[in-house]
């Protein structure tokens, strides 16, 4: 199967575990969709608020409490919106589920039925023609756990198979199971520079 091709009739939904995954892994494909005039929605599973080492470095603070994490999550959301603005996606086309950062595996193995239902309802209501999800082979536990959640949600929602094309992306690791089947997206020098600008909005 070739890489996704978008038209003005396309509806692309990207589901990201954390703010920054959109820029690191999906900025070129988002630019392609924007250029084609496709409808786009980006959904973040977490706010990326439990990321203490960059926060300690930036804020020069060792002890971090709940208020500090909320503040960091607010910053991460703002960075995500700034990166998406550079990529051509507005805040009205963005959503945050605020699931517990660094705890998606725990959520998966304990009780994530409400999370399944939220994802399934959102996907079904927005009706994407193309869906971008994290790879099950990504070595970050939040990424792989979210990949499993979404597989289960899609399986329950569409028992005969999803009606949209589903594509996986990876941020962490070099799994041959992923890269042996991966497609390389063509990108212009301008698109590469836009990606670099979107990544530069991040503190972590």
Residue given tokens 């212009």 in the structure block: 188
Domains contained in the chain, number = 1
Strands (E), 30-134: 39-46, 94-99, 130-134
> Is 194 part of any domain?
yes
Q: Which domain holds residue 165?
A: 11-199
How far apart, in Å, do the first and last CA atoms of the chain sit?
34
> Is 3 part of any domain?
no
Q: Please, which residues have CB within 8 angstroms of residue 178's CB and are 6 or more apart in sequence?
A: 135, 137, 138, 168, 170
pLDDT in tens, the chain (204 residues): 578 899 999 999 999 999 999 999 999 999 999 999 999 999 999 998 877 556 466 756 767 677 767 777 798 899 999 999 999 999 999 999 999 998 999 999 887 778 888 999 999 999 999 999 999 999 999 999 999 999 999 999 999 999 999 999 999 999 999 888 888 888 999 999 999 999 998 665
* pTM score of the predicted model: 0.91
> Is 181 part of any domain?
yes
> Is 4 part of any domain?
no
What is the token pair recorded at 174? 């070099």
**What CATH number has the domain bearing residue 131?**
3.40.50.10320
> Is 122 part of any domain?
yes
């Amino acid at each position: 199967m070739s890489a996704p091709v978008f038209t003005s009739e396309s509806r692309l939904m990207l589901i990201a575990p954390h703010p920054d995954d959109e820029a690191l892994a999906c900025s070129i494909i988002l630019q392609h969709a924007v250029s084609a005039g496709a409808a786009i929605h980006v959904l973040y599973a977490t706010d990326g608020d439990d990321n203490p080492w960059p926060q300690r470095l930036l804020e020069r603070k060792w002890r971090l409490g709940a208020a500090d994490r909320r503040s960091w999550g607010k910053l991460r959301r703002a960075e995500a919106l700034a990166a998406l603005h550079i990529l051509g996606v507005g805040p009205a086309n963005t959503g945050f589920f605020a699931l517990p950062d660094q705890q998606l595996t725990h959520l998966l193995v304990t009780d994530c039925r409400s999370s399944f239902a939220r994802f399934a309802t959102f996907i079904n209501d927005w009706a994407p023609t193309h869906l971008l999800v994290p790879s099950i082979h990504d070595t970050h536990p939040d990424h792989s756990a979210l990949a499993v959640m979404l597989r289960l949600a899609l399986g329950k929602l569409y028992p005969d198979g999803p009606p949209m094309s589903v594509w996986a992306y990876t941020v962490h690791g070099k799994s041959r199971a992923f890269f042996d089947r991966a497609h390389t997206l063509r990108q212009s020098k301008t698109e590469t520079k836009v990606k670099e600008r979107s990544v530069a909005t991040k503190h972590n």
